[in-house]
Structure 1
Amino acid sequence: MPKDAAVEEFARLVRAVKARDGRSYEALGRRLNVSASTLHRYCSGATVPEDFGVVDRLAVLCGADAEQRRALEESWTRADRARRPPAPEPEPAQVPEAEQVPEADPWTAPVPEPASGHARVPAPGTAAVPGREPGDGPGTAAAGAGGTRPGLPSGGRRRRWGRVGLFGGAAAVVAAVTLGVVLLPGKAREPAAPPPPPLTWTVASHVWANGCGHTYLAERTPPPPPEPADARRWATAAGAVHGGETLVRVSVQGRGASAVVLQGLHVRVVERGAPPAWSAYRMEDGCGGAVTPRRFEVDLDRPRPVARARDGYDASGQEGRTLPAVSFPYAVTAADPEELLVSARTARCDCSWFLELEWSAEGRSGTVRIGDEDGSPFRTSGAEGRPAYGYDSRGRAWITASESGQSG
């Protein structure tokens, strides 16, 4: 089956961006904290990334201009949409006829009589005329003893114009003028919304170690392992949760040219429970890579988890080199983003948690709460002692670690 045209066009643009730099897949992957094989799958069209952040960082690293980055993002959107199943259109809500209340006519609705002791006030420049209501137009006769206006059916109520403007009487106008305020019926003055934070971010919460290694917990036997880029959809369909570790990649950048200083990263656990008695399913065993990216490590089993910066390590050369840990504070702009990789682990907890990022810029400061792609908290559950399975690609079935000859 030929590849989808949108996916092939996106892969072509990614290859063109990579060709601008000339470095190998492995060298670029080290800078982007992804494996060389993952980057190669993007360029070949075998995989469309879950979010655009990693491709945008590749474009910036290879010197692409703003117009090329926009074209790349538009192509990614089309390719991502082509890979997703179409969502069903919601049916329009049907309103029962009994609930369809006709709107009242403001010109024929009854108006209460003024309270006793308050005389009607004629409109400025007019005098009270016997037999005429104040505010009635010239030549309009007052209602007879029956309370009807000529020309209307018997019993019809005429429109009274004794109200001034939008209020119930002259006393209300005088009070409004005295207080120096203007009141609008049915609308209360709302406080102005605070301006948005000067930074933006994207989140990828189904990141696999070295692009291949990860464990999920599932109550029932799930489908075969997906491609890493399709992990989120696979886990959602299978009802699976992260087992033992969640890797979260947060790409942060400013909204404009002005620098935004990132001051610190914190962890907020919002719910704790016992891990579910589900089986553990490993996406791939024996997976390794030459690069261990720098990251923040979080121990969710602690009463107050802390995000601790750790060095990375590059063992791809003849002599390995250390990748210094991220240290706060540091600045980001729209053209100079930063990537934060967070490894959150637990052995005893079914934990739901958020990240909180402190920032300051141009005399302002604040904290943004970062959760999963849909805004919900991240969820990580301990997997120790659970039955573990790996996928046998030849037999096309999940088998236990003892059946596969693997330990642990």
Structure 2
Amino acid sequence: MAGAGAGGGPRSSGQRPAPAARRRAVVLAGVGVAAALVSAALAANLLSGRDHGLPAGAPSTGAVDHRPAETSPSASKTADAKGGSASPSASRGGSPSASAPASGSAARGGDAGPARGGGSEDGAGAPAVAVNPYKWEDPCSQHYLVDQQPEQVPPPPGEPDARGWVTALGGVAGGEQMLALTVQGTGRATVVLEDLHVRVVEKSAPLAWNDFAMGVGCGGGVGTAAFGVDLDAGRPALSPKAGQRDFPYKVSESDPEVFYVFADARAHNVSWYLELDWSSGDRHGTVRIDDEGRPFRTSGNLGRPAYSHPLGSSEWGPAQPG
């Protein structure tokens, strides 16, 4: 949010202060003092404004619109998702943008969540990103590590209910975690998605918890715009899967793009998030993508006691090899 102000100092008797030219200025105080002997009035108006920007060196927690300061002050607009979050900021013509709720969902029945950009009728700001960190490639592909014994763990959920099941048990994705990102422009102009980066917050030994497999029977795979990342690597980076092309991509309000990210961890417990670089004309910025303000968590599950819940069974049992 930005503002500018102008003001004048005290003037001599007989002069009237000129009107102060200002834009969204905040009048802090006005003081009038009368002096004896002479019926002359002296008035002083103090006008001041302050331009609030992102503190230097502050960590990126959302999208920042980087435009020349002299032409377009920016105002923050934040939205987040039930399944993930990102906080873009953008404005046009110096008009502050209204704050969106801190939590929301692109589709309330699922686990995807939007991160709204600061677009306008004729331009585009940060793209909106709906994040689903509880996506499954097929019914039996996903594993979760839980720090409880099998008799204390309820039956596996379906994919739409995975968030509630995992959250209630304090679970963590085991071995691999799949994310679905739906990216959409917020104005008429095209937004270029320059690159998608992996940022590791913390890396430690794998969790010594029990491994629970979701579902039984395996299905097909995911087809388009799929990217993989080895979280065990010294500098994890996304790479296209199955012949998919790499960034950049283009999106608009009427032409969104869906990306699938497969994060793999075998030897570590990793806390991480994504950053999406974007540009549109002279605007550019970065959207942070995470799990409702928290990093994603993926832990290796090799050698952990593994359990499955076959169809028709009333309890968890040891998973069969293979």
TM-score, with length taken from structure 1: 0.50
Aligned partner of 1:166 among 15, 30, 37? 30
Distance 1:271 1:283, change over 3 A: same
Distance 1:362 1:290, change over 3 A: closer
- Contact 1:223/1:238, CA 8 A, preserved across alignment: no
How far 1:182 moved relative to its partner? 1.9
Correspondence for 1:223: 154
How far 1:176 moved relative to its partner? 5.3
How far 1:175 moved relative to its partner? 9.7
Separation (CA, whole Å) in 2 of partners of 1:325 and 1:271: 29
Residue 356 in structure 1 maps to residue 275 in structure 2 = yes
Separation (CA, whole Å) in 2 of partners of 1:362 and 1:284: 46
Aligned partner of 1:392 among 302, 310, 313? 310
Distance 1:175 1:301, change over 3 A: farther
Number of aligned residue pairs: 221
Q: Secondary structure at the match of 1:369?
A: strand
Correspondence for 1:214: 142
Report the structure, 1 or 2, having the larger helix content. 1
Separation (CA, whole Å) in 1 of partners of 2:301 and 2:307: 12
Correspondence for 2:301: 383
Q: C-alpha deviations, 1:303-330, integer Å up to 9, x for none?
A: 110000112xxxxxxxxxxxx4032222
RMSD of aligned residue pairs (Cα, Å): 2.6
Separation (CA, whole Å) in 1 of partners of 2:216 and 2:239: 27
Distance 1:251 1:371, change over 3 A: same
Separation (CA, whole Å) in 2 of partners of 1:249 and 1:260: 19
Correspondence for 1:238: 169
Residue 204 in structure 1 maps to residue 132 in structure 2 = yes
Correspondence for 1:407: 321
- Contact 1:267/1:305, CA 8 A, preserved across alignment: yes
Distance 1:392 1:286, change over 3 A: closer
Which has the bigger relative contact order, CA under 8 A and spacing at least 6? 2
Alignment of 1:109-148 (within 5 A): none
How far 1:277 moved relative to its partner? 0.9
Separation (CA, whole Å) in 1 of partners of 2:287 and 2:230: 21
- Contact 1:390/1:398, CA 8 A, preserved across alignment: yes
Alignment of 1:15-34 (within 5 A): none
Higher alpha-carbon deviation: 226-235 or 210-219: 210-219
Correspondence for 1:328: 247
Q: Secondary structure at the match of 1:167?
A: strand
Letter in 2 for 1:230: D
Report the structure, 1 or 2, having the larger strand content. 2
Separation (CA, whole Å) in 1 of partners of 2:74 and 2:180: 30
Q: Secondary structure at the match of 1:397?
A: coil
Aligned partner of 1:182 among 44, 47, 56? 47
Q: C-alpha deviations, 1:4-59, integer Å up to 9, x for none?
A: xxxxxxxxxxxxxxxxxxxxxxxxxxxxxxxxxxxxxxxxxxxxxxxxxxxxxxxx
Correspondence for 2:261: 342
Structure 1: where are the runs of 5+ without partners? 1-122, 125-164, 312-323
State the identity %: 43
Residue 248 in structure 1 maps to residue 179 in structure 2 = yes
TM-score, with length taken from structure 2: 0.63
Correspondence for 1:287: 218
How far 1:293 moved relative to its partner? 4.6
Structure 2: where are the runs of 5+ without partners? 1-12, 15-28, 36-40, 53-72, 76-89, 91-117, 119-124
Separation (CA, whole Å) in 1 of partners of 2:188 and 2:221: 35
